[in-house]
Structure formats: C-alpha cells, structure tokens
A and B are shown apart, each in its own frame.
Chain A
Amino acid sequence: MNVIEITDIVKSYRRGSQRIRVLEHISLTIANGEFLSLMGPSGSGKSTLLNLIAGLDQADSGSIRIGGTEISTLSETGLAAWRAGRVGFIFQFYNLIPVLTAYENIELPLMLTSLSKKARHAHVITALSLVSLQDRMDHYPRQLSGGQQQRVAIARAVVTDPTILVADEPTGDLDRQSAEDVLELMDQLCTQLGKTSVMVTHDPRAASRAHTLKYLEKGVLSDAPQAAVSECLQT
C-alpha cells in the first residue's frame, strides 16, 4: 500500500518578475514503511519537494495524497493541524528550542494534542528511551553534542507517532560516528516501527542506508544512477 502518492506536481518560485520552475511534473509513490533517500546536486529542488510532501508549502499544480488525505487542497490552518498529527520533522541543524530542556523539546509537539500531562509524560519517556537519552532529559540543547541534539530532534519527530518522517540533510552537520547513530535510528524507525521516511541527503553513505534511492536533477526525478552512488561510496 502506498502512503505517499505524488502525481504530476509542478512548483515554481517567483524571483522578481521571473518565475523559476523548480519541479517539473514530478510523480512519485512511496510505500508504507519505506525509507526513501532523495539525492541530487545543490539547488536541484530536493528541499522544495520535501517541503511539499511535508505540507510546508503548496505546489502550483498536481496532487499530493498522504495516508489518503489530499493535502494540496488544505488551507493553511488545515495544513498546520495535519502536520502536527501526521508529520515528524528532522532538520540539518536540529532546530531545538534553546530555552527548553531535551524533555520539554520532545514534549512540545504534544502541547497541540489533548493528551493529559501524565499521558504526555509517558510518550516523552518512550521517545527518550528510543533515542537512549533518558539520562540527558534535563539538559538544555547547548549542553548536548550535535549528535545528541539530533537524537533529541528525532525523539521530538516521533513522539506524536506520525505517519511520515521527513529529514532534510539530517547528518549534514554531524561527525561520522554521530551520523551513523542517527542513520541507524532512522533505519530502526522504518523497519521496527513501520514509519515511512523521506530523507534528503548529499551524503552517499547516508543514502546507502535507505531502501530506495531517487535522484533529482534540474527538476526531474529519476531512479538513482547506480554508478554515481557506488562511485561515491568507494571514496
């Protein structure tokens, strides 16, 4: 069964008086529990596509169905509510709230639900143990390493039990070992918890952890050219 069904989307940005096409008639389906990696040169439109899937932006035309919901017709508030329940976000620079502890950062998305404090606590603890950071829950982001911050961000992404996870260069700012840990975690989320994940990455090593590879260039999507990837892997 396909969780993500993208049909014929076009997206352009206005720059001054010009319109710049970033995505040209893209179609893509992603199955439940799949871990898809999106590669491509800088400026090729990877983040743009990811943002459309995550409901952060609207396409010019085409349809995006996620878990049976057509999100291209939702209003801004409708999208916000939909994102809160269905999407987990992981960013390159972790984007934790600096004045909140690890625990509070993870609890943040739950503030938009009707869960009681006790229920929220249970969810946060579960998410914390998933990323093995129970002993750091009272630390503020600045007291954590980059890898630990990204693990907190992953916990924040999964604490609402979303349908899909989107990650934009999640290892882009991490050292090798931390990157490995994060990728291992994402892999687990797919294989053990059945989360569908879309990850944008530059890093072939990261891409190789995914189940599926897609390649985006000049606004056109293709299956990853195997040669390019394996070549990168060897270096």
Chain B
Amino acid sequence: MRLKLLFRNVFRHKLRAFLTIVGICVAILAFGMLRTVISAWYAGVNASSSSRLITRNATSLIFPLPISYLEKIRGVNGVREVSYSNWFGGIYIDAKNFFVNFAVEPRSYFDLYPEFVLPEAQATAFFRDRKACVAGQKLAKRFGWSVGDTITLKGTIYPGNWDFVLQGIYHGKNAATDENQFFFHWSYLNESLKKNDPRRADQVGVYIIDLKHPDMAANVSEAVDALFRNSYAETLTETEKAFQMSFVSMTEAILTVIQIVSCVIIAIIMAVVANTMAMSVRERMGEFAVFKTLGFGGGYLSMLILGESMALSGIGGILGIALTFPAARAFAEAVGQFFPIFHVSLDTIFMDIGAAMAVGAVAAMIPMWRVIHIRIADGLGRTG
C-alpha cells in the first residue's frame, strides 16, 4: 500500500510528472555525454601503461632523436625492450579524413603494445613486407579498406605520395584501445629519406621503453636522461601516462569548463525538481494533516515524500542513462576522428546514478522538513 500510495502520488499530475521526468532525463543525458567527452579526452591517459616510458627530445617534441640512441637505451638496467616511432602526419585523400599515422619498428612496437591485437598470419605478413601497413578496425571500416588494398598517404612532414599495402587490421584488446590508428615500417620511411633528404634520415620521434617492472620507472628515466646529458640532443623520459597527460593539459581549461557545465546542469535540474516537489507537497498539506490526524508520524510522511522524489529522479535518470548509449554512438560516428575512444564508461554510469540520486534527495529536503513540522490544526484548515 505504501508503494501504491507513493507511485499514485508521483503520477497524480500526469503532465507535471511527465515534464519533470523529461527534464531529469535530458539533464542526466547531457551530464552523461559531457562526462563521456571528458573521459574521451583522457582516453590516451587512461589507456597508457604504467610499465612504459616515452623518451623524447628534451627541447620539444617536434625535434627528433638520433637512431643511434637505441642500443644505448637498450643497455640501461631495467629496460626489457625498446621501440620507436615517428609521427608521420600523412593525409588520406583529403585533410578532413584525419587519422593518426606512425612510422614504427613493427616487431618491437607490437611487442610493446599488446593491446593492439593482430592475427598471427597478418602480423607475419606485416613484418615481412617493407611497404606494408596495418590499420585499426574502426579506421578500416571507416574507409572500407580490406587486407591487400593499396593505400596512398600524402605526406605533410615528409613530402610526396607514399603507397602502402594493407597487410593487417588490428583490433583492440578492450574498449579503451584506440582502433583508429595506422602504422607502417619506419625503415621504409628512413630508406626514402636517405635517398631524397639524407639530412632527415636516421632519426626517430620518440623511443618507447618497456620496463622489466613498473617500479623501476623513476630509476630508468633518470638513467636514460643521464646518458644523453650534455649531448646535442638531450632527452626527456617520462611515463606514458605523463606523456599523454601533457597533451591533455594543453586543453585543461576547456575540460574544466565542461566539468563545471556538467555540474551546473545537475544543480539546475535539482532546483527544478525541488520546485516540483515543493509545489506538489504544498498542495497536499491538508492530506498530510489528515495522515497525521490518523496517527501517521512525520517520519512516515517524509519517507513517502523522499520516495516520491527518488522515484521521479530514478525514472528520469534511468531513461537518461538508457538514451546516453545511442546518443554517444551517434556522437562517435559524427566526430569519431577527434575522439578515437568515445564510449560510455562504467564510471560515467555510476556518476549518472549518483547525480540522479542526489537530485532526488536534495529536492525532497525542504518538503520533508515542512511535512514533519506542519501542525495538524493548520494543515486541516479551520472550517467555521
């Protein structure tokens, strides 16, 4: 009976309940989408491994490091494996088809990044063929590529048209893995440079170090940087997480604004639901006085109100969460190239649930206080 009473009260004014639920639903949807944008922004940071270090030029990321550092880094105590990559910055047909493409040392790179999963046969083919490339499955799907296709990238940093044969399509080990990247042989790039622009040959963008144990991160970065101190290309070695974070922090201000907006949305809907609850309880003061007359306590009645408020925000919240998934999918399809990882995380769902519950609880506060304190005679109203 208590639940029956609760739900009938929720839907007493159908239009009002409907509009409130729509409001909560939209607010939770907006909140969830903004949180998803934030986590998409941090996707690189979250996907980074604590056992990987990145060594780059200490002056700036735009300056390369000589390939000769490779063996020296490999010799540092605590280093299990080293790989390297160059940001290629190639364009596929049109600049708006942006995706990330790297020249890498294939064997060591795929060894260091086990989250890029490549079928055995494709891996072998990729490693063997000097002009081979691999792409993430989202990327391949986006352009309708299949294994065996020839893909031409127009170089921006390295001029010319570069032809690659797609030898493999990797998929991510989990949802946090970026499936929008493109890799090819560093040696293919380097050989061309040797022929056409020898000054730029034998250089890499960054070294990626895989540690024997994550605990050694501090010691190894220290040791690597010490190795090249006072050389013409000094290095800066940091964890992959810190490296990724340095990209995010460039846009930190925007993220802060998004965070604030997401909180403001929740605050606004709190005020709206609080108003709805206050209105609906004020109209029913007479009824609450009757309940009290019959012997029901203020506690019972305030729980009834809390329940009503929670039911409203619960229904709105569940609908909002349910809509977040298709909305995020549509959003990802529209702007997938900027947010390679755009999926609604479990954390976001928990935050949605928390926000909806907070809305329900806060909205019920004042009406609960009022119902506890109404005096029966006042509530019943005096009738002559």
A92 to B4, CA, bound (A): 27
Of B122-130, B152-160, B216-224, B293-301, the segment with at least 4 beta carbons within 8 Å of chain A is: B293-301
Give the contacting residue for A97; candidates B290, B295, B384; CB below 8 A. Answer: B290
Interface residue B380 (Cβ < 8 Å from any Cβ of A) = yes
Does A93 lie within 8 Å of B383, measured CB to CB?
yes
- Chain B binding surface, main DSSP class: helix
Does A112 lie within 8 Å of B295, measured CB to CB?
yes
Q: How many whole Å from B297's CB to the nearest CB in chain A?
A: 6
Does A80 lie within 8 Å of B377, measured CB to CB?
no
* B residues less than 8 Å from A172 (CB atoms): 383-384
A95 to B287, CA, bound (A): 7
Does A99 lie within 8 Å of B380, measured CB to CB?
no
Interface residue B286 (Cβ < 8 Å from any Cβ of A) = yes
* A residues less than 8 Å from B294 (CB atoms): 83-84, 89, 108-109, 112
* B residues less than 8 Å from A5 (CB atoms): none
Interface size on B, residues (CB 8 A): 23
Interface size on A, residues (CB 8 A): 31
A89 to B9, CA, bound (A): 23
A172 to B382, CA, bound (A): 13
Does B295 lie within 8 Å of A83, measured CB to CB?
yes
Interface residue B5 (Cβ < 8 Å from any Cβ of A) = yes
* B residues less than 8 Å from A51 (CB atoms): 376-377
**Which B residues, 357 to 383, have Cβ-Cβ distances below 8 Å to chain A?**
376-377, 380, 382-383
Does A99 lie within 8 Å of B377, measured CB to CB?
no
* B residues less than 8 Å from A187 (CB atoms): none
Interface residue B343 (Cβ < 8 Å from any Cβ of A) = no
Name the residue of chain B whose CB is nearest to the CB of A82.
B295
A-B contacts, 9 of them at CB < 8 A, read: A57-B377, A91-B383, A95-B290, A99-B8, A100-B5, A107-B1, A109-B294, A111-B1, A112-B296
Q: Footprint of B on A, CB under 8 Å? A: 42, 47, 51, 54, 56-57, 77, 80-81, 83-85, 89, 91-93, 95, 97-100, 104, 107-109, 111-112, 168-169, 172, 202
